[in-house]
Amino acid sequence: MLLARPPDLAPRAPWPDMPLVVWPAALAMWGPGDASSRHAHHAMHLLLRREGTLTFRAGTTKVDSRAAGVLVGPDVPHAIDATGGEVILLFVEPESQDGERLRASLDSPARLFDEAARDALLARLPRKGPIAHEAIGPWMEATLEALAGPTEVPAPRMHPRVRKLLRHLRAEPAPEDTSLEALSEVAGLSSGRLMHAFTESTGVPLRPYLLWLRLQRAAGALASGRTAGEAAHAAGFSDAAHLTRTFRRMFGTTPSFLQRRSQFVQAKARPTDAS
């Protein structure tokens, strides 16, 4: 999995003045491909190899699939090997409007794209060489529209009080008190009702989702130049080792990989409301 410093959101600055960033509704990244170990994270993501094919392994299966690209649903265990070529990634938060429409379009945990489908999705971008930063915004719009399900998503899953809580959790600066009691007060629900409504709305329990947000903030800190220890402390992890274990489980790679590779990868955020 590729990660990068989002220049729209987190220009490089010395710590500790640099704010931690929670990624937006959609975020595109592009650069050299690599291999990830088996992992799962809450964001949906599209990965397209600009030329050639990649290998994809879903769940616990030992069978690798070859494809030119893949769209992976939220919280789906998987591994991808795209070494030896350039890739473009599009991360989408499942609870955003874009995410709800993408989920409606998926009838399986992951969707594979052959080379013809990949070429159609990348038609707005050059096949080789550098990608102009200003070309990514229109590409994101067109790609999300091409992949999305119906404009009117039937039976929305998001509880309005959960949506309110998500806005609170993703605000800057991050809320200091994330105890169940404090979050229940923000949502205006009892603790038991909040836990039930949150899982029903997002597909994951509240505590794993909070860990996902902390990991996003740590990734933003790492890509902005902080050390693993600084990022761990700032995002609420006990130490760098705790961050590394969590990073590998959710992203299939290590914080040091992000630190080494971020200078070779560019990113652009989609300026839409995530909730």
pLDDT in tens, 180-206: 999 999 999 999 999 999 999 888 899
Q: Are residues 56 and 135 in the same domain?
A: yes
In this structure, what CATH number is given to the domain that contains residue 144?
2.60.120
Residue 200 forms part of a structural domain: yes
Identify the three-state secondary structure at position 176. Answer: coil
Residue span of the structural domain in which 146 resides = 26-156+254-270
Q: Are residues 201 and 258 in the same domain?
A: no
Banded model confidence at residue 265, pLDDT cuts 50, 70, 90: low
Residue 21 forms part of a structural domain: no
| Token pair in block for residue 93 | 């938060």
Among all chains, which residue has been given the structure tokens 């992890």? Answer: 237
Residue 5 forms part of a structural domain: no
Mean pLDDT of the chain: 82
Residue 217 forms part of a structural domain: yes
Q: Are residues 64 and 180 in the same domain?
A: no
Q: Are residues 147 and 201 in the same domain?
A: no
Which residues are CB-contacts of 129 (< 8 A; sequence separation ≥ 6)?
A: none
Number of helices followed by number of strands (H, E) in the chain: 10, 9
What are the angstrom distances between the C-alpha of 156 and each of 35, 110, 202, 244? 35, 21, 11, 35
| Domains held by the chain: number | 2
pLDDT in tens, 108-162: 999 999 999 999 999 999 988 888 888 888 998 899 999 987 666 555 568 999 9
pLDDT in tens, 208-227: 999 988 888 888 788 777 88
CA-to-CA distance for 49 and 30, rounded, in angstroms? 10
